[in-house]
Amino acid sequence: MDTPVATDKIITRKENGIGWVIFNNPEKRNAMSLEMYEATAVAMENYARDPEVRVVILKGAGDKAFISGADISQFKDRRGTLEQVRAGELISERCNQAIRECPKPTIAMIRGFCMGGGLTLQTALAETDLGAGVAFYGSPLDPSQAGSVNGPIMGHYGAEDGGIPVDAVKAMDAAFDEAGVENEIYIYEGAPHAFFNDTRDSYRPEAAAEAWSRTLEWFQKYLAA
């Protein structure tokens, strides 16, 4: 028996062998709340067991974004401490695992901004042939994971990010250095989460421009032929 999806911010439906998962938070460009992560995991687990579903499609509601990132309105109350960040990561990892391990072909219909900072760091752990990675305000790795990173990493973080404690970023940075991982981690004073996203009030043009210039130099250094 399928487990019910517990929020209207995730819409699920089945039609013609397709299991749809629609991220339904268009007023926030489909930013993901913790409830949405949980509901997406439930939907994917249901579809994995359902013999009527042959393929799964993930789609953002509206025409502005697929997923613009995490819902930063929750950061103050639910991601303000390192313990809360780790608890949130368990929820999001269940979602990521359900998508990653779904036995059905899974398609993402991406249009507009999409989350990815934390995924960059997780890819650096899993991918053995990584040329270079750049994470924009992705959830920091635990220091114990730093030695398992398989390529050079640059990170851009806001000093005023309500959901990613600066101490966690600094701990990851120090662990990279100790493990001998090539890295450059920057923390931008006065910048909140999503400071690079020019469709949000969080946009900080000076920090965004500096981060972008550094990103291009990083890729030129490691990826240019």
Q: Report yes or no: 158 and 187 within 8 Å, Cβ to Cβ.
A: yes
Radius of gyration of the chain (CA): 18
Q: Report yes or no: 158 and 193 within 8 Å, Cβ to Cβ.
A: yes
Give me the chain's average pLDDT, please. Answer: 90
Q: Which pLDDT score, from 0 to 100, does residue 115 have?
A: 66
Q: Which pLDDT score, from 0 to 100, does residue 29 have?
A: 87
Give me the domains of the chain, ranges plus CATH numbers. 10-109 (3.90.226.10), 117-223 (3.40.50.1820)
pLDDT at 208 over 70: yes
Phi, psi of 2 (to 5 degrees): -70, 145
Distance CA 12, CA 104 (A): 16
- Tens-place pLDDT, residues 190-200: 999 999 988 78
- HSE-up of 140 (CA within 13 Å, CB side)? 31
Q: Which pLDDT score, from 0 to 100, does residue 178 have?
A: 96
Residue 195 CA to its chain's centroid (Å) = 15
Q: Which pLDDT score, from 0 to 100, does residue 126 have?
A: 87
DSSP classification of residue 179: H
The neighbouring-strand residues paired with 184 are: 154
- Tens-place pLDDT, residues 1-25: 566 677 999 999 999 999 999 999 9
